[in-house]
A and B are shown apart, each in its own frame.
Chain A
């Protein structure tokens, strides 16, 4: 999630279908064997077999503000994260807590579901307003002592609250991290990401990551793209290790900027499901 701006790639790969029902959306992908999922069907705390939490403002992790000057303090309190009515609700609140002015939550599958290759998909509704920064993303396993950006980062969905019709997907690795990540914006026509659920996914294979939103494949990234975007400096690190999933709702920071007087709190990032296919 360390980035300031995005470099649009030249390769545009777009497919559209007449219908929007779920079966049709599968046609943008080829991996259809469900191997892991959380449908968030049991009210209460998220399933501890699937999710753990990153707590705090990043200081304990050595990256205050989570590396982006973010403003929230992550907790695992039900006020910030719970499963209710069939969905996972991650709620950002404006409140004084442990020296921060906002609270929210960040869930990961680290150590619980780490996987290399596959189709990673979630159905999400995001909040709106300046300062909100929801994300559905993945980091590479660092148990071998390797560090970011060598471990790789795959951002499946990010959005900033003052651009309610735009979501973006990107990758980070050595030579293309932070503000130099490689990715692309996707803009909805006649719809918004904060007023209904949308499906965000990647299909990750050796030497290729395809990005799709709903029934539209909008980006396909390969080592050639990394070469081209970094003048041969960057390294494709997505054939090396397994990755885990992260869901979080950040507030403020370098990318979205701070909330303003019109930003409404609390609001939630709502996740209907997370599914992994092979």
Chain B
């Protein structure tokens, strides 16, 4: 699941983000008012690309690790006709890039796909594996209607894959005709070959029982703050195919229509960004086409956000991990997403023009700033030999019991790993209020070396699988010299 989330953020998110930037200023006429005057060509690739840009394959940015050399066509292998697309999925350490991903884009102004209900293609691989994601709607421009199906099982024989269109009526001018991205997650890093053929849009008529959800179908209750926007998340659409199989795709927010039960308190943009206007309560819900979407966001707005005191220590005495007051060192992850036992969600959250760290469903979570745990995201650890303290501001978002625990652990990645621990007791914490801690590094018992500190772990468990504090805000995490 966590890997999904990362993939989503990395590739899918890019497209969504750019959509948000452009939509507000460029789209004044509603989709319904635009006459469908674009060609409805169904084929994307048969034996040749059909109506695609001269580049044909437009790769994700090689700077993100995308391998532009791994794409080609194969005149020896095809499902139908004389040719297929061939992808040589690279191993993670491939010097040309550790995964392949990109799009096929319409060479014109886009196509009217509103008469189709699915993207289909035939696919096979040199071994059984799973393709990380395949979809459509990403065009490296607005990408308003990006859709992707994840972990598509591959066989050594040709299989037809169907990717339902979440709401065809939206696709009256679509440029992003094919989207794919995969590495070797499913094969433990072993490269393999994939062939894809007969990519086209179809009106199957056999796709039914469409269901959509936000927030994984949950009714999320959330305290919100005036002027602190909240993004609706986890847009998914599932449908039942003729095979009896339920297929789920991630869909961009623009497929959905949103409504607020109380627009005086909160409103929603077409990208699912909720603006919080005043105190009160509001329920945000969505529909896809004519059907209700499962899941709501129930906001309770009590006022503005209460920020932690602004740090006053001189910057030259500080090595900052996370603070708006200082320039932070490079950090690879503010949420470690350690698999498989970490349950903690969240991470850096924008609060108006500032940011905090918000963790929910906490059991344990790390802030990762080393070159050991995730080599692909290596950053330099902190040499804290000349530093004396760690500062952190903590604000617990739930009632606090004296028996609650928040264990802080620093790991030093020297010749041997050493770990130092410092326990904050529930009696030292407050609900909905910031408490600042200035902890001498010498109080982290067991931290014998400090020259390569690269992990700050927060653990609220009082025993295995028994977390105490679940929801917490953190801010102003920095080392300093007194």
Chain A residues with a Cβ under 8 A of chain B: 128-130, 161-165, 188-192, 194-195, 262
Contact = CB atoms under 8 A, between A and B. Distances in A.
B118 to A, nearest CB: 12
28 contacts: A128-B208, A128-B209, A128-B244, A129-B240, A161-B244, A163-B242, A163-B244, A164-B206, A164-B208, A164-B209, A164-B240, A164-B242, A164-B244, A165-B206, A165-B242, A188-B206, A189-B205, A190-B203, A190-B206, A191-B206, A192-B206, A192-B242, A194-B208, A194-B209, A194-B240, A195-B208, A195-B209, A262-B246
A37 to B, nearest CB: 29
A167 to B, nearest CB: 13
A188 B204 CA distance: 11
Nearest to A190: B205
Contacts of A128: 208-209, 240, 244
Interface of B: 203-206, 208-209, 240, 242, 244, 246
A189 B202 CA distance: 13
B208 A192 contact: yes
Nearest to A160: B244
Nearest to B246: A262
A194 B207 CA distance: 10
A251 B208 CA distance: 21
Contacts of B208: 128, 164, 192, 194-195
A131 to B, nearest CB: 11
A165 B245 CA distance: 12
A185 to B, nearest CB: 13
A165 B205 CA distance: 10
B245 to A, nearest CB: 8
Contacts of B205: 189-192
B206 A130 contact: no
Contacts of A165: 206, 242
A163 B206 CA distance: 11
- Most chain B CB atoms below 10 A, which of A165, A189, A194: A165
Q: Which 9 A-B pairs have the closest CB atoms?
A: A190-B205, A162-B244, A195-B208, A165-B242, A192-B208, A165-B206, A191-B205, A262-B246, A128-B209
Contacts of B246: 262
Contacts of A188: 206
Nearest to B241: A164
Contacts of B206: 164-165, 188, 190-192
A191 to B, nearest CB: 5
Nearest to A192: B208
Nearest to B203: A190
Contacts of A163: 242, 244
A252 to B, nearest CB: 15
A162 B209 CA distance: 12
A194 B210 CA distance: 12
A189 B209 CA distance: 17
A98 B208 CA distance: 34
A121 to B, nearest CB: 24
Given A128-B240, A188-B206, 9 more contacts: A164-B206, A164-B240, A164-B242, A164-B244, A191-B205, A192-B205, A194-B209, A194-B240, A195-B208
B429 to A, nearest CB: 40
A68 B244 CA distance: 22
A196 to B, nearest CB: 9
Nearest to B204: A190
Nearest to A264: B209
Contacts of A191: 205-206
Contacts of B242: 163-165, 192
Q: Name the residue among A162, A192, A262 with the largest chain B CB count within 10 angstroms.
A: A192
Nearest to A191: B205
A163 B240 CA distance: 10
Nearest to B210: A195
Nearest to A130: B244
A129 to B, nearest CB: 8
Contacts of A190: 203-206
A206 to B, nearest CB: 38
A64 B138 CA distance: 55
A130 B246 CA distance: 10
Contacts of A194: 208-209, 240
A75 B180 CA distance: 51
A227 to B, nearest CB: 35
Nearest to A189: B205
B115 to A, nearest CB: 12
A189 B204 CA distance: 8
Contacts of A189: 205
Nearest to A127: B209
Nearest to A163: B244
A272 B391 CA distance: 70
A165 B209 CA distance: 13
A223 B244 CA distance: 35
Contacts of A164: 206, 208-209, 240, 242, 244
A181 B36 CA distance: 51
A171 B208 CA distance: 30
B240 to A, nearest CB: 6
Contacts of A130: 244
A188 B208 CA distance: 13
A139 to B, nearest CB: 28
Contacts of A192: 205-206, 208, 242
B210 to A, nearest CB: 9
A164 B210 CA distance: 13
A165 B204 CA distance: 11
B454 to A, nearest CB: 41
A190 B203 CA distance: 8
Contacts of B244: 128, 130, 161-164
